[in-house]
Amino acid sequence: MSVDESSTRPARADTVRLESVVVGVDFAAPSIAAVDWVREHFAPEAECLVMHAIDIPEPPRFLRGAFPGRQEVLRSAREGAAARLARLGEARKWGPVRLDVREGRAEDALSRAVEDARADMVVVGEHAHPRGMWSTLGSTAEALVRTATVPVLLVRSARERAPQRILAAIDDSQRAGDVLGWARGLARRFEAHVTASHVFQPIFLNAARAVSGLEASATLEQEQLEQTEEWLDQLLRDAGFPEGEATLQVMPGDPVSALVAAQRGGDFDMVVIGSRGAGGVGRRLLGSVASGVLRGATCPVLVVSAAAETDAG
């Protein structure tokens, strides 16, 4: 099976960096739970910046006379948020964390904080709106995936422990090596087991059948399955996985549906996935596999985006 060399480059799997993380807090329960989990289970020894963003738009010109000056509103909001963060950190016993309040849209403020802190990861809790509204309202996590220069961790329904079963979603892209690098590094850190999963889309099998004839079609599925497993096994070796340390999983179907079903049915407590990124309208609407998994998974999801440069491995 011919594979683009860029998708089989060795994953840097031995030096996953979790020395500094930025966690966004909007004061909703999911974001507070995300900080709790990161501090207690995921990266308790990392330098941690807990940040809240205030985004106050300019009032319409015809109403400005009825409002205080914007700078006065910002100052009051900043002071109130800073005091609330301090009380929250003390009450939740977050320990030695830095607290910060910044102005702007959450994804922009978090991205700037990541750059300033030279953080290794940015973490957010589940979107405060009902999950069914994500398709129209978007989310901070999805916006960060498009812009962040580090992996983005969405914390949802995290268990009271470090990850023990990690699902690494692999496709034929440049992100495959980085995804396996992060999965391998996290597995070492937490003594977790990794399942490397690839979704085999039926369209490729159907296309091969269309040109091969009925007699050959009986063996095509098995041949393509074997080639896919060989390719995935090679990726695992390139990522530094010893024989038998990870489980291979090749599934037919739609990537989003198959991966979400595998996560839920396999009792995985973390998904690591790559995002190829998009341009133009695609950057606004996403519609990617990573976006679908972010919306559908019932556990924390770590996204290594096209913009991210990891030190994994």
Beta-bridge partners for 200 = 252
Per-residue confidence at 4, pLDDT binned at 50, 70, 90? Answer: very low
Domains of the chain (ranges; CATH) run 16-156 (3.40.50.620), 159-313 (3.40.50.620)
Sheet-wide strand order for 246-252: 98-103, 47-54, 20-24, 121-125, 152-155, 301-305, 270-275, 165-169, 193-200, 246-252
d(CA 8, CA 263): 24
Residues 42-51 as b or e (16 or more Cβ within 10 Å = b) = bbeebbbbbb
96-148, pLDDT tens digit by residue? 999 999 999 999 999 999 999 999 999 999 865 544 444 433 588 989 988 88
pTM: 0.85
Residue 313, pLDDT score: 39
Residue 238, pLDDT > 60, answer yes
Q: Which residue has the higher pLDDT, 2 or 19?
A: 19
Residue 1, pLDDT score: 35
For the four alpha carbons of 143, 18, 263 and 27, in that order, the dihedral sign comes to negative
17-26, 55-64, 73-82, 158-167: lowest mean pLDDT where?
A: 55-64
31-60, pLDDT tens digit by residue? 999 999 999 999 999 999 999 999 987 777
Q: What is the mean pLDDT of residues 266-290?
A: 68
In the chain, % of residues over pLDDT 70: 78
d(CA 115, CA 117): 6
Q: Which two tokens stand for residue 77?
A: 């909001």
Residue 129, pLDDT score: 53
188-236, pLDDT tens digit by residue? 999 999 999 999 876 555 655 555 555 556 677 777 788 889 999 999 9
Per-residue confidence at 312, pLDDT binned at 50, 70, 90? Answer: very low
Residue 308, pLDDT > 80, answer no
124-128, 164-168, 201-205, 291-295: lowest mean pLDDT where?
A: 201-205
Residue 133, pLDDT score: 40
Helix (H, G, I), strand (E, B) or coil at 166: strand
Q: What is the mean pLDDT of residues 274-293?
A: 61
pLDDT, averaged across the chain = 83
Residue 5, pLDDT > 50, answer no
Contacts of 150 (CB under 8 A, 6+ apart): 114, 119, 120, 121, 122, 308, 309, 310
**Whole-angstrom Cα Rg for the chain:** 21
Residue 73, pLDDT score: 84
d(CA 179, CA 304): 7
Residue 137, pLDDT score: 39
Residue 284, pLDDT score: 36
